[in-house]
């Protein structure tokens, strides 16, 4: 299985600021996704991170608020822009490996609190 790390693991931020979350995988993967888990809730897909092109966003999520980059097959970033307390969530990246195509592996998550 792929080993995924995320940085930072947690952060407390002020309203109106932005935070960039990094996701690093130890092997090449086909697909990378970003999810949000609001407190006490299930996971919601934010976007699919596409290598070398713009991410594909789900309904309710826009690039200006959640810009995503994926410069290569093993790394992606998610930025949460102009934060408000409603953005307080756990943000998780997940990957589909080249070798186990029908499973997704999740990173440990980034716990964000916006004051």
Stretch that binds another protein, among 10-18, 67-75, 78-86, 106-114 (CB under 8 A): 106-114
**In the chain, where do the E strands start and end?**
4-7, 10-13, 19-25, 29-37, 43-49, 56-57, 68-72, 75-80, 89-97, 105-106, 110-114
> If DSSP codes are grouped into helix, strand and coil, which group holds residue 22?
strand
Radius of gyration from C-alpha coordinates of the chain: 13
End-to-end CA distance of the chain: 36
41 binds another protein (CB under 8 A): yes
CB 106, min distance to another protein, A: 4
13 binds another protein (CB under 8 A): no
CB 12, min distance to another protein, A: 17
Among 76, 47, 81, residue whose Cα is nearest residue 61: 47
* Closer Cβ to another protein, 53 or 102, answer by number: 102
Region 45-104 residues binding another protein, contact defined as CB under 8 A: 45, 48, 92, 94, 96, 101-104
Stretch that binds another protein, among 16-24, 39-47, 67-75, 79-87 (CB under 8 A): 39-47
> If DSSP codes are grouped into helix, strand and coil, which group holds residue 87?
helix
Residues near another protein (CB under 8 A): 30-31, 33, 35, 41-45, 48, 92, 94, 96, 101-109
């Amino acid at each position: 299985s792929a080993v995924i790390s995320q940085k930072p693991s947690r952060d407390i931020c002020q309203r109106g600021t932005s935070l960039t979350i990094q996701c690093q995988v130890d092997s090449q993967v086909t697909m990378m996704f970003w999810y949000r888990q609001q407190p006490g809730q299930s996971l919601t897909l934010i976007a699919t991170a596409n290598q070398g092109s713009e991410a594909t966003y789900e309904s309710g999520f826009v690039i200006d608020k959640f810009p995503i980059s994926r410069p290569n097959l093993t790394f992606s970033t998610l930025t949460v822009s102009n934060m408000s307390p409603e953005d307080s969530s756990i943000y998780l990246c997940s990957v589909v490996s080249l070798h186990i195509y029908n499973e997704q592996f999740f990173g440990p998550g980034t716990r964000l609190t916006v004051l």
